[in-house]
Amino acid sequence: MIPLRDDIPSNTFPIVNYILIAVNLAVFGFELSLGRSLDQYIYTHAVIPIQVVSEGFTAEQFVRMTATMFFHGGWLHLLSNMLYLWIFGDNVEDRMGHFKYLFFYLIVGYLATFAHIFFYPMSGTPLVGASGAIAGVLGAYLILYPHARVLTLIFIFVFIQLVYIPALIFLGIWFVLQLISGAASVGQAGQSVAFWAHIGGFVAGMLLVKLFATKKANIRY
């Protein structure tokens, strides 16, 4: 399933959401410019769980956790994350306000990183990607707009369908798939997808959203 758009108009210009997308794109452009030096750069600037466990949570690790949220492992990783942020982030920012949305995004991103470290404490693989923070945005959207509809591209064998799916169903399926994949990945070495960062971010977003989204929705379902 590929989301294309939702049916909830934003009442304010989502400047922070656009800035987050722009920064992610700019950082990925920087990654591409590094060429063969990219792997070394990632290893020295991104979060590595075993380092956090052995060294503790230091100022350097805090900087790494922040940088991690803006690195990506490839075009597909980047574009899929930005698509989800583009579709769901503007409405969450609309309900929170610009500054609180930025703070919320960073907080759920940090919590997603800690969730990954908790389940993979001995991993020496750098954690990269905005997925955990964006999962937090998805969790917030689920609480704020459960009855919204998401225009979704669905592939059924050789057939392609465009279908409006309730956000509760779309995001519920997304979360269940993360849970299944996360449970299957526990104990595996060299896990390439940080499913528990996704799960941790999503749950954090659901739990924290009401602390940040103090503006009332200006919509009727």
In a domain, 43, yes or no: yes
219 part of a folded domain: no
Query: Considering Cα of 86, then 205, then 97, then 144, what sign does the dihedral take?
Result: positive
Confidence band of 221 (pLDDT split at 50, 70, 90): very low
| DSSP-assigned letters across all residues of 158-189 | TEEEEEEEEHHHHHHHHHHHHHHHHHHHTT-T
Is residue 74 domain-resident?
Answer: yes
Q: Give the three-class secondary structure for 130.
A: coil
Position 1 scores a pLDDT of 83
Is residue 221 in some structural domain? no
- Structure confidence at residue 189 (pLDDT): 55
| Tokens (6 digits) for 67 | 């940088």
Q: What is the pLDDT of residues 42-66, one digit of tens each?
A: 999 999 999 999 988 899 999 999 9
**Can you give the CATH number for the domain in which 146 is found?**
1.20.1540.10
What the block records as the tokens of 26 is 């700019």
**220 part of a folded domain:** no
Tokens coding 44: 């020295």
The pair of structure tokens assigned to 48 is 């590595």
Number of domains the chain contains: 1
Mean per-residue pLDDT for 17-39? 96
Average pLDDT over residues 57-76: 93
Segments forming the whole domain that contains residue 152: 2-212
Q: What is the pLDDT of residues 131-165, one digit of tens each?
A: 999 999 999 999 999 999 999 998 877 778 899 99
* pLDDT higher than threshold 60 for residue 170: yes
* Domain membership flag for residue 55: yes
> Bridge partners of 153?
2, 162
